[in-house]
Structures are given as C-alpha cells and as structure tokens.
Amino acid sequence: MKFEKFHLSESLLTNLHNNGFFRTTDIQYKAIPSILKGEDVLAIAQTGTGKTAAFAIPVIDMIHANKASKRSLGVKCLVMVPTRELAEQIGIVFNQLAKHTKVKAHAVFGGVEKDPQIKKLQEGLDIIIATPGRIFDLVRSKYLSLEDVEILILDEADRMLELGFLGDVKAIKRMITRRHQTLFFSATINPEIKKLAYSQVKSNAIRIQISPEDPVSKNITHHVVFVEMDDKRAFLAEYIRANPEGKMIVFVRTRVRAERIAESMAKLEIKALTIHGEKDQQNRSEVMEKFRKGECPILIATDVSARGIDIPDVTHVVNFDLPEKAENYVHRIGRTGRGFNKGLALSFCSSDEKILLEEIEALLGKRIETLRVSKADYEFIKEAAEPVNLNLSISELIEQEEARKRSSKRRRKQF
C-alpha cells in the first residue's frame, strides 16, 4: 500500500519518497492507522521490517497537524530505548522524516556531553528519543519536563519491561501527568512480558503481531555449524576469506573476547573493528560510522549492538558465541536481511553451547539447518589459521597459500 492512502501531510510524504519509502511494510500498514486514531498499540514484528518508521510516521504527522508554527510548546512524544546506539539511530530516522515539517526531534543519551542536548531542549523540541538514565538526569536538573507528553513509545519493549528497566519505565510513566497514548514495539516478547505490557496501557490496546510463528525474517538464511571453542577463530577467518565482498557483524559474549578475536584476526591480516560497553560513547559512535561507511567491513560486537541498529547493507552475521538469552539470537541475526535485502547468518556452536542452541530452537519452534563440514575440511580450516611456519622456503609458502586458496574456493558453496 502507498503512504498517500493515509492522507499524510505533503511535507512528510515528500520526506518519505526522498528517503526511499514508497510502499508500506506489513507492520507499517497495520500499525499506522491505529496510531493515527490515538489507540494504544502493542506491536510485535520481525527485525528489519520497518518498525521504527511504523511509529515515527504517524507521530510526526499528528504533531505536525496540531502545530500552528515551528515553535515547540513542550515535549509531546517521548521514545524510550535501552541503548545509546538505538537512541542515536532512531533520532536519525525521526529527523530524516521530519525535515521541512513543523516537528523537531532529538536523541538524548548518556556517555556524551550534556550541554549540546540541553541547548536543543532549550531551543524547543516536540519529540525526544532517550535512554532512561539521561531522562532522569535532565528531569532532575530541570532541563526536561514531561508534563506535556501525549505519546509514550517503548522501542525494544521486551528489553524495556525486563527487571533492569521496569522500575525506570514505571517512574517515568508517573512523571507523565497527562492522559497519553502508549506504544510498545518489539521483535520478540514472551507471555510474561506481554501481560506486563498490557498492564501499562488502556484495556482496549490494539495488539498487532506479524508472522508470529517465525520471529526470523524470511529474508534471512541462517545455519549452525558445530565448531569446538578453540577452533572458532580459524573458522571465522575462513568465513571472512570465503566472503571477501561481505559486510559482516560478528557477535561475541564478552568485551574481552571481542578485543582478543580482533587481535587474532589482525595476525591473519584481517582488519576488524570492535564495539562494546567498555568503549566510551564517542569511540562507539566513531566505530559505527566507519562500519556504516564501509571503511572496515568487519565489526566484532557484544550484544550492545544486537538490538535495533539499522545498517541496511550488512550481508552477513556470525554468532561467534551463541547468545545466553535465546531472544537475542533473533535480534542479532536481524542485523542482516533488513527491509527488502537478503542476508546470511551463521552460528558457531561448541559442545558446551548445545543447550543454548536447544533454547534458541525452542523459541523459533523449529531446528536450525546444520552446515556440515567434513573432517578433512575441518582440519584444513584449523591448519590454515595457524601461524606461518618461517622454516618453509618461499616456494613452499607460495605453494601452501595456493593450496589454501584452491580448497577455499571448493568450500565457498558450503560457506
């Protein structure tokens, strides 16, 4: 369906077309009318299906229609998110779609200087996209008031309603004194979280669920390969070499592992960026910008980047470590195959991780297809990643490398 059918403002329609939005995705088609009617919505849809635009488009249109001028008379919409990266990403989408309208939006989050954010608030904003910590900070210092908020949005709602954030969500809802519209958007949500979500909205909330039987987008082809923990670095190096044109995110369990794996890849002449919670926000933003621009096509990340980051041209996702929470599998592999693009995801599963694989498959309701590797190929991949034997002659080194390349070409259909 075309966006014109929603009778949106001309400025917004122009922005949609200029940013490549011509027809609605399923979640946009189903969610936008309910939001425009002022209804509370709980929307569950696969990653990469356009959830951000599904709430950004109607919110911008409603605020634009109700303003007589560009002057802002208080924050009308608050979007709460669990991570700084997601706040920044959603802020970009809002500003792209609000260009030349009467609506002003800005993302505020921790880890960076407050002064530029405070200046934006003082100039007047209609929409803020924020992490809970920075909201509390700005409210306490009286730079932000929530008394005019009419729309509250929780993106990655399952994460926002977990114990770590639930207290923050309830506290912020108490600060919103007006009767307000509440929107929950997520890719995954379990029955307990769903029940909790309904307790936070009006009883007549609209529930929208797209393809609930399979939380993984049909655009993503995903496999698992059984690899022992000590051999995973060799398999990662081989997978990167077998896909030289790929743009790849590699997910690991800890910050330390991210850095060590990057160092291991560097020894094999494979450059990789890293992003995790120990890096300061400026460094994390710089890393994401380099990856977006393709200056380095390999990004090694912890789950700080598993949710909500929209980089449309990611071709591959690798679960170097299986996630300890099954839901994160869906969020991780959802970094590829976004919009109308196709994507590939591969998970390395060691003997110790088989129980995690079972939990993921239980969530998906089906088995993940296994990528078979013969014993001969397994041993070859291990040997190919071992340090160069400096005792070999130049001709022997060349012959060894040529043999590796021939074998790699034979296996590319597998990988």
CA atoms of 124 and 117, how far apart (whole Å): 11
Across all residues in the chain, what is the average pLDDT?
88
pLDDT at 211: 61
Buried b (16+ CB within 10 A) or exposed e, 381-409: bbebbeeeeeeeeeeeeeeeeeebeeebe
**Is 56 within 8 Å of 93 (Cβ atoms)?**
yes
Query: Nearest 10 degrees: CA dihedral of 161, 323, 317, 247?
Result: 80
The pLDDT confidence band at residue 400, using thresholds 50, 70 and 90, is: low
Which tokens is 407 given?
């074998």
For 60-68, what is the mean pLDDT?
95
How far from the centroid of its chain's Cα atoms is residue 86's Cα?
7
Q: What is the pLDDT of residues 132-186, one digit of tens each?
A: 999 999 999 999 999 999 999 999 888 888 867 888 988 999 999 999 999 999 8
Closest CA to 217 of 48, 364, 346: 48
**Is 35 within 8 Å of 182 (Cβ atoms)?**
no
CA atoms of 310 and 336, how far apart (whole Å): 9
- Percent of the chain scoring above 90 in pLDDT: 64
- 262 Cβ contact list (under 8 Å, min separation 6): 272, 273, 274, 300
For 385-402, what is the mean pLDDT?
53
Residue the block writes with tokens 């709460």: 80
- Per DSSP, helices labelled H in 221-275 are 232-242, 255-267
Q: Does residue 112 surpass a pLDDT of 90?
A: no
Q: What is the pLDDT of residues 255-307, one digit of tens each?
A: 999 999 999 999 999 999 999 988 888 888 899 999 999 999 999 999 876 66
- Percent of the chain scoring above 70 in pLDDT: 90
Q: Which H helix or E strand runs over 221?
A: strand 220-226
Q: Does residue 391 surpass a pLDDT of 50?
A: no
CA atoms of 379 and 32, how far apart (whole Å): 53
Helix axes 84-98, 10-18, angle to 10 degrees: 120
Tell me the domains of the chain and their CATH numbers.
3-209 (3.40.50.300), 220-411 (3.40.50.300)
The pLDDT confidence band at residue 208, using thresholds 50, 70 and 90, is: confident
Of residues 123 and 205, more confidently modeled: 123
The pLDDT confidence band at residue 409, using thresholds 50, 70 and 90, is: low
CA atoms of 294 and 368, how far apart (whole Å): 30
